[in-house]
Structure 1
Amino acid sequence: MRALIPAIVLGLMLTPAFPGAAMAQTTTDAAKADGKAFGKDLGAAAQTAATTQPNADRVPGFNGTPSQSGYFDDPKAMERAAASQASSSTGYQTMRNSMDRRATFNKVDLDATIARSKTISEDPLSYTSGMGVSGAQGRCVPLPPASGAAARYKATCNTGYTVDSSTQSCSVTLQANVTTVTDYLYYCSRLDPDCTAFQLPTCRWTGSHPGKCLQGVDTPGGFKCFEPGDPVDEYTCSAPVSGSNPISVTAHQVVNTSKDESQCAGLAADTNCTNTQETCSDSDPTTRIIDGVAVTQPCWAWRRDYQCNRYSPAQDCDTLASTPGCTLQQEYCITGETPCRTFERVYDCPVPDQPQDKNQFICDGDVYCIDGSCETIDRQPNDEFKDAVVALNAMDQARREFDPATLTLFKGTRETCSSKVFGILNCCKGKGFPLIPGIQLLVALGCSREEMLLHQKDVQGLCAYVGTYCASSFLGVCFTKRKVYCCFESKLSRILQEQGRQELNKPWGAPKTEQCLGFTIDEFARLDLSKMDFSEVYAEFTDAARLPDELQAATQIQQKIEDYYARARQ
């Protein structure tokens, strides 16, 4: 109505003056008196309606079984009946005409106006000054810029390290050489204490044989020993043993082999590299002539493979850090390991690509003129209406979302989405990024339909960001992360949960285990709604709030203005 009346009056101001000043003056006074009496009657009626207990009997045409109940079985009949009455219904035509001429406002403009009104209410004298009844020009002050608090979102990025894995190889060769070795054979009775002389690094025990027979007889079957001598140990030495005479001295050639691992020394010493396998790379021929001696080996060279992992610093936060309006809220480790190699940074950012508000002003007063006679309208806006509307909607939302099984209110639904750390594919863009036409492409690349639906809910303001945890990691570096949200039935429920948890000092739990539980009855009773900021939903509630008699009052006002001009023309 407040938007309609100035438009009607402005139209009257632009109408050419009527002849007959005395008659116009008399008629003007009568119109003023009639208008004031009409307004007084409407005010009394509104006050009575606001203080009277609702009663079904007061509704015109209501009875125990309304005739309209037949529409329950045949909803299409309601459409047919409405269509047949629309062309002849005065109320419908008035409503359509009113809606067609009614001014519309962008939601962003409403949010900006609400934000600026808060600043004005804190220091009203800085924006207003007096204006006389005479209609003298007063002072206009530019409105403060919008705060944009209702159009922000949580954006995340990562810092830390990436792991570059690679396979590196090196060669190991078999080295063979032939040497001539001289063996000195010694015998020593096992009970002879002089045998200790052969316990040298150059000597080795190579066998034993029975000692000389002490008693025996010759028999037809051969010599039979009755009393053998002490066993004799045999020692083979690579050098003469001082004080002993060798039984025999023989020379022979020995083949020595060893692996040359010098090419693999660097990889073997690197703690970031692990030997994964070794394969023969040279096995033909197996027999080769070394220093004139035939040497046979199954393999003469090997390829040794190492898996090497290199840490390199990485981050993708430059864009958020340089975006105007984005502020760093927190940074935490998402791998839970020490030392931490992957950190999550959370920024609070304005929603991009918002239309810029034009300069607006607030002036000292509103002057309305009819036929040259002007009056200053003293407006006293009701600054409690928005709070009352939010409180009523909060109570209604609590009634609808109350869970009798758990005795809780505003329970959310846990939903998650995944993205690659420092990767290109991101299924968790958030409401800071509008939905793109290629949703099917994202699904084909790996994003699930549930993740796309989560994005839609987040864009609509239904989801609260809880946090991020690492879903897959390697060597302490996170490869895939999952972002966790709690989504609610309405934007109001989300705001109550977010700001209510701050009041109750009840933060969200760990992202990996948070279940989005609702408030208990006792917790909800302890909430102070007056301390919460509901500017994000003010515009939605006030846009939906319409007084039942607004259309009727507008019609009556329009009719009285037409009657005034009808009398003036007589």
Structure 2
Amino acid sequence: MRLRAFATGAALLACLLALPTAAQQQDARADGKTFAESLRGAAQQAAQGQPEAVDLPNYDRQAVRDLERLADNPDQIEAASGSASRNHQGHRLMRDSLANRARFESDDIEAVIARSLAINEAPLDYTSGMSISGSQGECVPLPPGSGSAGTYTATCNTGTRIEQSQGQCSVPLVASVTQRQQWHYFCNETGFAANVPLCTSFDQGQCRITGYRPGPCLQWRDVGYRRFCTEPGDPIAEIACDAPDSRYSPYAITTQNTVDTARDETQCRPFADDGDCTLEAEICSDDSPQTRIIDGVAVTQSCWEWERQYSCTSREAASDCSDIEQLGTCRFVREECITDETPCETWERVYECPLPETENSQQFVCDGDVYCIDGSCETIERTANDEFKDAVTALHAMDEARGAFDPDTLTLFRGTRNTCSSKVFGVLNCCKGKGFPLIPGISLLVALGCDREEVLLHERDAQGLCAYVGTYCSKKFLGVCLTKRKAYCCFESKLSRILQEQGRKQLPKPWDKPKEEQCEGFTLDEFAQLDLSQMDFSEVYAEFTEAARLPDELETSVLIQQKIEDYYARSGQ
């Protein structure tokens, strides 16, 4: 051990003694300046002279002629460049680089710049250096970083809202009795009956034929003791009139009771006249007794009153997006019609919102991370091992791939389809999920109207296990969506969900229509095409061991510190 320590100290001392002195550094700068002056004249002469083709490296006379032809016909430049770029390796590399490079939100970049400016304003507050004696210094907290906890999808509705209401009214039967006299006369319709007036001579508005009786016999015949009419005359009509006819004498005058019945529609007329109200049911609400005395006359009816049920609708413009818009942190993504109607009456607006920030561990810069020798300072890098979490995530993905393989369909990471419903513009929403706090107790949500399966979906989505596919209308009326249903694909782990979401974008293999998506997995060929290095697994990093400094790094820094102190002790400084 002593020999090893001595050898290490000797090596360190040799390195220190080999450092150039200030005089040597000054001589080196003078030599460099002299050498540059000697080349200046040749460089100026070469710049002023006309270059020869043979002196130009990689000069191609044919390529120059091609460029001259393009200059004479500029319309061919775009076509020629487009044709050449498709097969040019450099262009392909640039195109692939642009397509695969990381994207950063402007807010994140501004946060990093703000943090850097804060350190730049007072750098010594964060890295004050170490004293010449090598004693341990103070640790100063860095300004907060700009880490994000992820995002979630939030939706709201705009368009036409239909308000449905129920109406009820009564329709009573009103009966009235009218007494009137009737004057009865004989008349004939042919004009051949003697002393009997024609029926047409009576007032047709007040008189009406009520019956017939045989007319007088025109020819009789006696057969033995029997006598019968061989030529009967025309029948005589009986006519009743509401008023007497002074020309003729009635054969009878009678008094008649007339019963009139009518439904009183007064209560139900507002519903009947409203084009947005529909009669749903009509039932008899009063049928006993059926026979009643009206003005001294017995009147019998099967029903005396009816109860009607109406269903009414009203249209009005509506939106429930104010809550999301007032947050100020959500980014509008798209707007979709969920009724497949033209014109569309109900739209769903989709937003991407950040999840609430989680508490991050405080970061520090310590004096002990900086050491100086003769005014030259070096910093011990304290960079975490970022490859560790990437490696663990990749290994975990491979492990899950083994467990998520479906031998029946030969696919990987198959999900399960889950749906939940909510009233459009309604208060109860069983589909909030990720980004919204969980309501404790399944029974409460079930009591409010949610299915138990919907509550379980709410919990799984809040845990980051479900991918949002889309929304479709499950019930509509007059082209307006009343109830919508959201479709999700849920997986056994957050990692499987991220592989599905980001892997489908790489293939590309977009989700099917929300009403038809069955959450199929990747085939073996599709999974082999995925580039896991291009995927963002930051959501699952917290599930594994956080990136940590290697144990021997701290030990190495202590050894360096001890060697520096030994050097100062030997030199007597």
TM-score range, shorter chain: 0.5 to 0.7
- What residue number does 1:264 align with? 268
Superposed CA offset, 1:512-538 (max 9, x none): 332111233454455555654443345
* 2:293 aligned residue (287, 296, 302): 287
* 1:216 aligned residue (196, 220, 243): 220
> CA distance change for structure 1 residues 457 and 406 in 2, over 3 Å: closer, same or farther?
same
Higher RCO (CA-CA < 8 Å; seq separation 6+): 1
**Percent identity of the aligned residues?**
49
- What residue number does 1:402 align with? 405
Q: What amino acid sits opposite 1:352 in the alignment?
A: P
Q: What amino acid sits opposite 1:458 in the alignment?
A: D
Alignment of 1:186-225 (within 5 A): 186-189=186-189, 200=204, 202-218=206-222, 223-225=227-229
Alignment of 1:380-395 (within 5 A): 394=397
Superposed CA offset, 1:93-127 (max 9, x none): xxxxxxxxxxxxxxxxxxx9xx9699979xx9999
Distance in 2 (alpha carbons) for counterparts of 1:267 and 1:164 = 13
* 1:326 aligned residue (323, 330, 336): 330
Q: Decide whether the 8 Å contact of 2:389 with 2:546 is kept in 1.
A: no
> CA distance change for structure 1 residues 405 and 306 in 2, over 3 Å: closer, same or farther?
closer
Give how far 1:299 is off: 8.2
- What residue number does 2:156 align with? 157
* 1:228 aligned residue (211, 225, 232): 232
> CA distance change for structure 1 residues 397 and 356 in 2, over 3 Å: closer, same or farther?
closer
Superposed CA offset, 1:70-114 (max 9, x none): xxxxxxxxxxxxxxxxxxxxxxxxxxxxxxxxxxxxxxxxxx9xx
Q: Decide whether the 8 Å contact of 2:411 with 2:524 is kept in 1.
A: yes
> CA distance change for structure 1 residues 324 and 28 in 2, over 3 Å: closer, same or farther?
farther
- What residue number does 1:167 align with? 167
Distance in 1 (alpha carbons) for counterparts of 2:111 and 2:396 = 25
Q: Decide whether the 8 Å contact of 2:384 with 2:548 is kept in 1.
A: no
Equivalent residue of 2:154, what SS?
strand
Greater Cα radius of gyration, structure 1 or 2: 2
Unaligned runs of 5+ in 2: 16-103, 130-139
Equivalent residue of 1:286, what SS?
strand
- What residue number does 2:352 align with? 348
Give how far 1:415 is off: 1.9
Q: What amino acid sits opposite 1:288 in the alignment?
A: I
Correspondence 1:413 to 2:404:
no
Correspondence 1:484 to 2:464:
no
- What residue number does 1:509 align with? 512
Give how far 1:195 is off: 6.9
Give how far 1:495 is off: 2.0
- What residue number does 1:467 align with? 470
Distance in 1 (alpha carbons) for counterparts of 2:268 and 2:169 = 8
Give how far 1:326 is off: 1.8
Q: Decide whether the 8 Å contact of 2:220 with 2:227 is kept in 1.
A: yes
TM-score by length of 1: 0.59
Superposed CA offset, 1:212-235 (max 9, x none): 333333567653223433445545
Give how far 1:269 is off: 0.9
Give how far 1:486 is off: 0.5
Q: Decide whether the 8 Å contact of 2:472 with 2:515 is kept in 1.
A: yes
Larger CA deviation: 475-484 vs 264-273: 475-484
Aligned length: 451
Superposed CA offset, 1:341-386 (max 9, x none): 655443322223634787x7999x9634699995345799998887
Q: Decide whether the 8 Å contact of 2:112 with 2:145 is kept in 1.
A: no
> CA distance change for structure 1 residues 299 and 136 in 2, over 3 Å: closer, same or farther?
closer
Correspondence 1:277 to 2:276:
no
CA RMSD of superposed structures (Å): 5.6
Distance in 2 (alpha carbons) for counterparts of 1:296 and 1:376 = 112
Alignment of 1:21-420 (within 5 A): 29-30=9-10, 146=146, 148=148, 150-159=149-158, 160-161=160-161, 163-172=163-172, 174=174, 176=176, 178=178, 180-183=180-183, 185-189=185-189, 200=204, 202-218=206-222, 223-236=227-240, 238=242, 248=251, 250=253, 252-259=255-262, 260-275=264-279, 276-277=281-282, 279=284, 286-289=292-295, 294=297, 296-298=299-301, 302=305, 304-311=307-314, 313=316, 315-334=319-338, 343-352=347-356, 354-355=358-359, 367-368=370-371, 374-377=377-380, 394=397, 397-419=400-422
Distance in 2 (alpha carbons) for counterparts of 1:557 and 1:34 = 20
Equivalent residue of 2:323, what SS?
helix
